[in-house]
Amino acid sequence: MSLEMTQRPCLGVLLAAGEGTRMKSSLPKPLHEVAGRAMLAHALAALVEAGCGRIAVVVGPGAGGEALAKTALALFSAAEIFVQHERRGTAHAVLAARAALAKADDDVIVHYADTPLLTAATLARLRAGLGGGVAVSALGFEAADPTGYGRFIERDGRLVAIREHKDASAEERAIRRCNAGTVALAGAHALALLDEIGDDNAAHEFYLTDAVEVASRRGLAAVAHIAAEVEVMGVNDRVQLAAAEAAMQRILRERAMRAGATLIAPETVFLSYDTELGRDVIVEPHVVFGRGVSVGDGVVIHAFSHLEGARVASGAAIGPYARLRPGAEIEGRARIGNFVEIKAARIEAGAKVNHLSYIGDARVGAGANIGAGTITCNYDGFAKHRTDIGVGAFIGSNTALVAPVKVGDGAIVGAGSVVTRDVDADALAVARGQQAEKPGWAKAFRDTHKKR
């Protein structure tokens, strides 16, 4: 972003009032997620990163609009919320934020909450097109199939009109440079341009695209900026949502690999928008990263593991078939093995939880070994309780640790124990019924059943 742009204030107007009926969902369309993040959040973050110091969010009436407003304010507390009570087109939606537009911002970017892949860099380039007599900077793309899109009508390097498909002539429909929807307006002219837009079209709606022709009539210029078609992808239904997810995953996977991680079968690995992978990380096939995962250098994530809200330090190994839930902290050189679940627990350096275990609300001390089938019984039906396992402790297989309980440093718990009291450091604890044996009982039992 140029120094001049950083010195100019900018208003971002985020349109989120569409009904989204094709999603067939009780959830407002912009709250559907792509790579673990609501589409509205992707769009809002791009506006902020592009330099918009103020954000106006236009929502529809009712509970859906309230949900969108709540989400927007949680993401950007200074956002101004405006309600479009009647849905009469995109220009009408922008004018719902008239109070925000009336303030003296030099630039205005109008963006859509269902366009999750559009980057801040592209928005910044679009905004950079303003100035020097240019009042409208419109974003477009070269369409593989332009059917249904507004066409860019250009002359002598300038954009003179954007014609909606239903209003376009046969000659204009042959144009492949199409409107992506997002537009930047010079703040000094924005309200005047919007107020002059009429509804003399096939749909009798107020189209934001008509700002181009209005600017031309006023002797002001408009320019087109072209982005990749995939970046300007909008989402109207579940099929397009899946396409946006696939496109975002390709971007995230490539970014991770270029930063030094190895994805053995990239197409089988699913990342969140905020996944952090260190250098020399190896991710085997069929691994899913939910939100809030940070992985240090040299970690191996074995196949079929699922991580969410977890931190994995350098040199650790996870899986296969492991699940790290929110609050899991895996320190350096620790080992989390197959069919192990960790939740809200710290596994300290060099500790091992290798087989078929659940460790929740706990600390496992450095170098400790947790035997197969061990569980921390952390919930009593009303509250969660913590288990503390000391440094170098050894927990035998098939042990139940009934929290709250503490196992001291270097202690050993015998296999099959149910531990309900604290275990001192370096002690042996065995808590299980004594074995009883009845000679010949099994043979007599079988003989009895054979006679029946």
Whether residue 441 lies inside any domain: the answer is no
Together in a domain, 179 and 105: yes
Together in a domain, 365 and 270: yes
Collect contacts of 83-87 with beta carbons under 8 A, ≥24 apart: 83/17, 83/58, 83/59, 84/17, 84/58, 84/59, 84/60, 85/61, 87/17, 87/18, 87/19, 87/60
Whether residue 215 lies inside any domain: the answer is yes
Residues 6+ apart with CB under 8 A from 237: 22, 23, 24
Would you say 89 and 199 are in contact if contact means Cβ atoms under 8 Å apart? yes
Pairing of strands 134-142, 177-186: antiparallel
Range of the domain at 319: 253-429
pLDDT per 10-residue tile (average), the chain, 452 residues: 63 94 96 98 98 97 96 97 94 97 90 98 95 93 94 92 91 95 96 94 89 94 96 97 98 98 98 98 98 98 98 98 98 98 98 98 98 97 97 98 98 97 98 91 92 76
Together in a domain, 216 and 364: no
Sign of CA dihedral 215, 216, 222, 226: positive
Together in a domain, 308 and 413: yes
pLDDT at res. 30: 97
C-beta neighbour count of 243 within 10 angstroms: 14
pLDDT at res. 3: 40
Helices (H), 233-306: 238-258
Whether residue 289 lies inside any domain: the answer is yes
pLDDT at res. 282: 98
* Sequence letter at residue 281: V
Together in a domain, 181 and 319: no
Helix, strand, coil percent content, the chain, rounded in steps of 5: 25, 30, 45
Together in a domain, 202 and 105: yes
Together in a domain, 73 and 143: yes
Whether residue 258 lies inside any domain: the answer is yes
Whether residue 168 lies inside any domain: the answer is yes
Would you say 411 and 430 are in contact if contact means Cβ atoms under 8 Å apart? no
Single pTM value for the model = 0.92
Which of 312, 306, 305, 295 is CA-nearest to residue 256? 295
Whether residue 245 lies inside any domain: the answer is no
CATH of the domain at 364: 2.160.10.10
- For residue 361, the SS3 value is strand
Query: What H or E segment, with its residue span, contains residue 419?
Result: strand 418-419
Question: Whole-angstrom Cα distance, residue 14 to residue 219?
Answer: 28
Together in a domain, 58 and 173: yes
Catalytic annotation present for 302: no
Question: Whole-angstrom Cα distance, residue 436 to residue 322?
Answer: 37
C-beta neighbour count of 242 within 10 angstroms: 12
Whether residue 234 lies inside any domain: the answer is no
Q: Which residue shows structure tokens 């995953």?
A: 249
Whether residue 290 lies inside any domain: the answer is yes
- For residue 397, the SS3 value is coil
Sign of CA dihedral 415, 421, 427, 433: negative
Collect contacts of 380-388 with beta carbons under 8 A, ≥24 apart: 384/344, 384/360, 385/361, 386/361, 386/362, 387/359, 387/361, 387/362, 387/363, 388/362, 388/363
Could you give the number of structural domains in the chain? 2
Question: Whole-angstrom Cα distance, residue 157 to residue 163?
Answer: 17
The residues pairing with 379 across neighbouring beta strands, listed in sequence order, are: 384
Together in a domain, 126 and 272: no
Give phi and psi for 254, each to the nearest 5.
Answer: -65, -40
Query: Of 92, 225, 302, 355, which one is the catalytic site residue?
Result: 355
First-to-last C-alpha distance (Å) of the chain: 89
Together in a domain, 223 and 257: no
Question: Whole-angstrom Cα distance, residue 112 to residue 183?
Answer: 10
CATH of the domain at 133: 3.90.550.10
Q: Which residue shows structure tokens 């040299």?
A: 298
Under the phi-then-psi rule, with left for phi > 0, alpha for psi from -120 to 50, and beta for the rest, what region is 191? alpha
pLDDT at res. 6: 52
* Sequence letter at residue 325: R
Together in a domain, 319 and 189: no
pLDDT at res. 380: 94
Sign of CA dihedral 215, 100, 184, 115: negative
Together in a domain, 301 and 200: no
pLDDT at res. 203: 84
